[in-house]
Amino acid sequence: MNHKIKTSVFQFLSFLPNPLGVKLYHKLQYFSENKNLNLKLKSSENTFNSFLAICKLLKIEPDNKSIIEIGSGWLPIIPYLFIFKGKAKRVYTYDLNEHYQENSIVDFNAVFSKEYNQIIDIPKKGKYSLPKELVYFPSQNIITAEIPKAEIVFSRFVLEHVTPEDIAEMHTKFKNTLEKGSHIVHFISPSDHRAYSDPSLSLHDFLKYDQKEWNRIQTKFDYHNRLRLPQYLEIFKSLDYEIIYLTFDSVKKDSEQHRLFKNIEIHSDYKNYSDEELTAGNINIVLKV
């Protein structure tokens, strides 16, 4: 979908009174998120394999550990991979919204079982048809929630949708709650997500706007903080986290994305950053408490 049409749809939904706008958004996203399930499984499996490779490199053992996931999303793909492939003891997943629906989870269980030749034991009691190893906390802000003991905190493409203030508060909570030596693993997608559905748009197009202009474009349904790599690192360092792993991609010179980036008049808010810092994408970072 063209990014202008998609933005217009989100803006229309945001103007509708609650809960009507939220319900319509949920229906649209539910339809979108449940298409190409096998493709979503493979994409999440790639992330999971990257997670395992990072753990191996850093000598972190995820098996038989308790893991907190930030941002449950629409389906429990990553938690299932943690449990059935990574042998995690338990996964606690938190989300500001309640996107899980029993019918979609039942369908997902069947696809996951077939794809991975895995028997999923579902307790008789339970609202979402989830295995006992997975505990779902919908409609909860992890900043104010009472979180369980866990050795690993994980997020996949979530942090870019969290305000800078909440990122700081969240990690202050982890710093004060998790045991020393625990690990926090973030996979961050800092690019302009509108470009994912519209290749004519630069992955960094939103850097040409000041904050007021960008706030007029984005809505509560597609919020993006636009933080650049140095800004993430500044937050973590200010809280005295040890950054034990960091990788990111940069736009290759002479590529189409580099051409699109160079055609953007970067707003003065971002003038102090280098091209590499501005275009750093696919950020993978591990923090140690």
User: Same structural domain for residues 278 and 257?
Assistant: yes
Tell me the per-residue pLDDT of 81-113, one tens digit each, with 9 for 90 and over: 999 999 999 999 999 999 999 998 999 999 999
Are residues 157 and 109 in contact, defined by beta-carbon separation less than 8 angstroms? no
C-alpha to C-alpha distance for 70 and 145, rounded to whole angstroms: 12
Band (33; pLDDT cuts 50, 70, 90): low
Measure the CA–CA gap between 92 and 206, rounded to whole angstroms. Answer: 33
Same domain for 193 and 65? yes
| Mean of per-residue pLDDT scores for the chain | 93
What is the count of structural domains for the chain? 2
Same-domain status, 97 and 10? no
More confident residue, 186 or 1: 186
Average pLDDT estimate for 230-243: 98
Output the pTM of the full model: 0.93
Same structural domain, 22 and 46 = no
Give the CA angle between residues 126, 82, 89 to the nearest 5°. 70
Q: In this model, does residue 30 exceed pLDDT 80?
A: no
d(CA 140, CA 250): 35
Are 6 and 197 within 8 A, CB to CB? yes
Using DSSP, state whether 66 is helix, strand or coil: strand
Which structural domain, as residue segments, surrounds residue 3? 1-33
Strand (E) or helix (H) holding 25: helix 20-33
- Interatomic CA distance for residues 207 and 227, integer angstroms: 10
Q: For residue range 130-146, list pLDDT tens digits in order.
A: 999 999 999 999 999 99
Q: Is there a single domain that holds both residue 86 and residue 199?
A: yes
Distance from C-alpha of 177 to C-alpha of 155, rounded to nearest angstrom? 17
Do 283 and 265 belong together in one domain?
yes
Query: What is the CATH classification number for the domain harbouring 199?
Result: 3.40.50.150
Q: Do 207 and 226 form a contact (C-beta atoms < 8 A)?
A: yes
